[in-house]
Amino acid sequence: MALEKPYQDIPGTTVFDADQARIGYHLNMFCMSLMKPEHRAAFKADQRAYLDRWPMSEQQKQAVLARDYNRMIALGGNIYFLAKIFATDGKSFQYAAALMTGMSQEAYAAMMLGGGRAPESQALPTIPTPARSIAGVPVGPLGLGCMNLSHAYGTPPPAPQAAALLRRAIELGVTHFDTAALYGFGSNESLLGEVLAPYRRQIFLASKCGMTGVDGRRVLDGRPETLRSTCMQSLARLRTDHIDLYYLHRWDRSVPIEDSVGALAQLVSAGHIGAIGLSEVSAATLRRAHAVHPIAALQNEYSLWTRNPEAGVLEECRRLGVALVAFSPLGRGFLAGAVTDPSTLVPKDLRREMPRFAEPNFSANARLLEPYRALARQVGCSPAQLALAWLLHQAPHLIAIPGTTSISHLEENLGAANVVLPAEVLVRLQQLIHPGSVLGARYNAAAQADIDTEELALSPAPAP
């Protein structure tokens, strides 16, 4: 449908490019004409033309079209309100469009006004559908692991940058935020407490105890009195009187798991925590703990190249009604292509101590990436989205918590919630990346000593 007037003459808009003008025109027409059929059709046509500029699959484009069209129709009851907004000032388009898409004004403007350049995320940001749950509380299939903002991967980002990422996650509909007393030796909890306090009632907050920083060193301590003390400190740092999910970060084998879980059960009874979780334990340990008090979630590493949960806990979680929360779902950045030369990692990056990132293992593992990227191109998503989508296809009780310090990567990761993988692609991924094709253990010997998970046989390292 050709527009009847020049874009510059559309009242209430500031024209930056033709895409903004066309879609802004349709917004205006929706408001003024009670969404006549011809304007609905024109909106679909021009929105489709815009989406064709993105490297998305046809299935993804159709999903976005349906989403935005349905949201537009849903605004029919607020037409007068939107019309008033649309005529106020030069930012009215961004405000009205943000209402339509569920994005912030700034994010929509950045997406739409990029002069024809597709953003780094390679897919439209999306709001995860809350189709999964922990302890009966609906959460999205993708949460946010917050460790990267304070811990483990070298120098953390400046506080304003970390705060901006957390707020962007809120804008995008993330409700599940995961931290720990260990991360930054308390500074990560303090960061979340400061930034997320205004949103406390709308988020699902998870933290961990049993492994903390003492005098600059990591200390494993599962004694009941230590867990209670750590919880009180976490509540203060998080600026809340209740943590929705509280994990035992690691099982201290000098303390029976029943004693540690019993202490956490007392915290539930006192109202300090809502539910109990475990991390990096086996199916046998999960059963023992669950017999003391219902365990709501088990957080273990799980990704295409770390398949240990398939040896027991994935099925045991399903049987017991426990959510399996997957950390490092992108293989600590490997599957996203974030690591091309481990020797360039900063000195305090924990991956420097991981056998998979050491030679000759890394070079052998890197050979998997090109055929993996080819599958991502076939699906029409980024490599990171492919890894997350694969994970979400494994089980309905599985939730992934990728971490990042980049807003563009955050947006990219959340787009994985809408990626549907054909059966043929799932099979090819299974054939390409599996325990027999990945070289090197995930932890060094010292870190492995604190882990209780089942282990899978890996390929031997190639000869030097």
The set of catalytic residues is 183
Can you spell out the DSSP letters for 176-216? Answer: EEE--SSGGGGHHHHHHHHHHGGGGGGSEEEEEESEEEETT
- Are 31 and 60 in contact, with CB atoms under 8 Å apart? no
Give every strand in the sheet of 273-279, ordered side by side.
144-145, 176-178, 204-209, 243-248, 273-279, 295-301, 323-327, 398-400
Closest CA to 175 of 198, 136, 142: 142
> H or E segment at 44?
helix 37-51
Q: How far apart are CA 435 and CA 303, in angstroms?
A: 11
H-assigned helices in 369-440: 369-379, 383-392, 407-414, 423-432
Closest CA to 278 of 314, 325, 223, 242: 325
Q: How far apart are CA 410 and CA 228, in angstroms?
A: 33
- Are 372 and 433 in contact, with CB atoms under 8 Å apart? yes
The DSSP call for residue 405 is: S
Residues constituting the chain? 464
Angle between helix 79-86 and 92-101 (nearest 10): 150
Cis peptide before 360 (omega within 30 of 0): yes
325 DSSP β-pair partners? 299, 399
Q: How far apart are CA 443 and CA 451, in angstroms?
A: 9
- Are 416 and 142 in contact, with CB atoms under 8 Å apart? yes
- Residue 135 neighbours by CB distance under 10 Å: 19
Closest CA to 411 of 238, 136, 164, 229: 164
Angle CA 453–455–458, to nearest 5: 150
Say whether 90 sits in a helix, a strand or coil.
coil
Question: Within 13 Å, how many C-alpha atoms sit on residue 205's CB side?
Answer: 28
